[in-house]
Amino acid sequence: MHSRDVTAYLYDPDGKVTKIIGKESKYFLNKKDLELYGDVKTVFPDGFELYSDYLRYLPNEKRILIPTTYNVSGMGHETEDQDFHFKSKGLDYAMGSSQIILPKDAHVTMERVTPPNSLDAGVPDKTIIESDHCFIDRTKNFAHFTMDPNRPLKTRFVHITQPTLFTRSRWADLNYGNFNKVLQYLVAYDDVLVKETGEKKPGESSSLRYATSGHAEFDTRRDIIIMTQFPQAYQDQDTVTGDILIMHRDSDIIEVMHSNAFSQGAQ
């Protein structure tokens, strides 16, 4: 069955409705598969939205499939203190488990806002994560970012951008739930580089330039980064290492646990 100006309603076992709108559709009566074309908009029961130019719904598997030849974007207000949305090429959404696979060119943005009358506001921030692949579990508010293993090693990095900070690592995890319940909202793994990008204000002392480690945890409530696994911090001509480095993002302070080396460069 071929239709134009289509609105489709998909019901789950609890009677909740997913609404799909598109310019054209093909409905295969023998399989009950549904394909939609042109300005496709999908609105899920919790308000989460998907946008693309093509979508295929497989009812027997309760899956939404979009090939990598199509651009996809999604957005939703997951919690009261942050907004979460993404872009990618293609999508595989298992509706029963609320798990999303972004198979190519994943671009995720998480913006932290301060909720009204909050006693534990933390630090408002915007985090952009770019990777080859991304797995999202919407029931746990969790996203896992990885790179294509066929890439050259020197380009096989997840990129994380914040207003005054750039981070890269081999893979990363993002917890985007309620921040008053999340300790480490972002964790970067393997060959981690953290580099400050904000400009130094007149009269300020020299600030941290960059640091490396095997593991970095971002704590937005205390506005710190905890770096472990052979961490090293570099400031001007100085280098410091230890078992644990704690970078305070609102100051020039670096805490070092069990410091094992300090090097001062030539003046």
pLDDT band at 266 (very low <50, low <70, confident <90, very high): low
Task: Say what the alpha-carbon torsion angle 167, 173, 176, 179 is, to the nearest 10 degrees.
Answer: -80
Region of 146 on the Ramachandran plot (φ > 0 left; ψ -120 to 50 alpha; else beta): beta
- Supply the pLDDT for residue 202: 54
Region of 61 on the Ramachandran plot (φ > 0 left; ψ -120 to 50 alpha; else beta): alpha
Higher pLDDT, 14 or 67: 67
- Specify the range with the lowest mean pLDDT, choosing from 10-19, 48-57, 115-124: 115-124
Distant-in-sequence, close-in-space partners of 241: CB < 8 Å, separation ≥ 6: 230, 231, 232, 233, 256, 259, 260, 261, 262
Domain boundaries, the chain: 61-209
84 close to 76: Cβ distance less than 8 angstroms:
yes
Closest to 127 in 3D by CA, of 100, 165, 99: 165
Tokens of 96: 């029963």
% of the chain with per-residue pLDDT over 70:
83
DSSP designation for 153? G
Give 46-86 pLDDT, tens digit per residue.
888 999 999 999 988 889 999 999 999 998 755 566 788 89
Distances (CA, A) of 263 to 64, 113, 116: 55, 40, 46
76 close to 107: Cβ distance less than 8 angstroms:
no
Task: Say what the alpha-carbon torsion angle 173, 177, 181, 187 is, to the nearest 10 degrees.
Answer: 10
For the full predicted model, state whether its pTM sits above 0.95. no
- Supply the pLDDT for residue 115: 56
Tokens of 249: 């993002």
**pLDDT exceeds 60 at position 179:** no
**pLDDT exceeds 50 at position 161:** yes
How many other CB atoms sit within 10 Å of the CB of residue 206? 11
Mean pLDDT estimate for the chain: 84
CATH number of 61-209: 2.60.450
How many other CB atoms sit within 10 Å of the CB of residue 169? 24
Tokens of 110: 């998480």
